[in-house]
Amino acid sequence: MGRPRWLNAEEKRAWNAFLGTYELLNRRLDQQLKQDSGISHLQYVILARLSAAPDRELRMAELACAVSNSKSGLTYQIGQLEQGGLVRRRACESDPRAVYAVLTDEGVALLEQAAPGHVALVRELLIEVLTPDQLHAMADGLGEANRRMLAVDDPAAGCS
């Protein structure tokens, strides 16, 4: 396989900045959402994805890929959201193996209540600390990394 190509100082700096920012941002968003709305950041992302989907529903396998979660992890989260009346499951008429997650009216209401505080914190912690050029570079760079990872055919993930 050959020798590893280690990160140079600038690459390490970028990698560590990304990791630290991601972890801190996710933790702060999780704390804010739990305090203000009683849901986790992941649950908020699930509700937001369902809200943006046609008829406010997605096949569970597709939703797991969209939120970068395992199918079993998503099943657990949907169960928690279902207990709160925020989502419901629906069987697929044409494929008995398929199950859909459907956003309920209560889920829409909670998302609408949670969104302003969530967006305000995203702005405070990330968007407003970057210059327009930094924001543009971040969106371009991370967008390209995201596109490349999604383009890789990974049958184990079931997301391609």
What's the pLDDT score for residue 154? Answer: 56
- Sign, CA torsion 112/110/115/51: negative
What's the pLDDT score for residue 93? Answer: 84
Q: In what order do the strands lie in the sheet with 99-103?
A: 57-59, 99-103, 87-91
What's the pLDDT score for residue 117? Answer: 97
> What residue ranges do the domains of the chain occupy?
25-141
CATH no. of 25-141: 1.10.10.10
d(CA 27, CA 25): 5
d(CA 150, CA 16): 23
Question: Collapsing DSSP states into helix, strand and coil, what is residue 91?
Answer: strand
What's the pLDDT score for residue 94? Answer: 85
Q: What is the pLDDT along the chain (160 residues), one digit of tens a residue?
A: 689 999 999 999 999 999 999 999 999 999 999 999 999 999 999 999 999 999 999 999 899 988 888 888 899 999 999 999 999 999 988 888 889 999 999 999 999 999 999 999 999 999 999 999 999 999 999 999 988 988 885 555 556 5
What's the pLDDT score for residue 153? Answer: 55
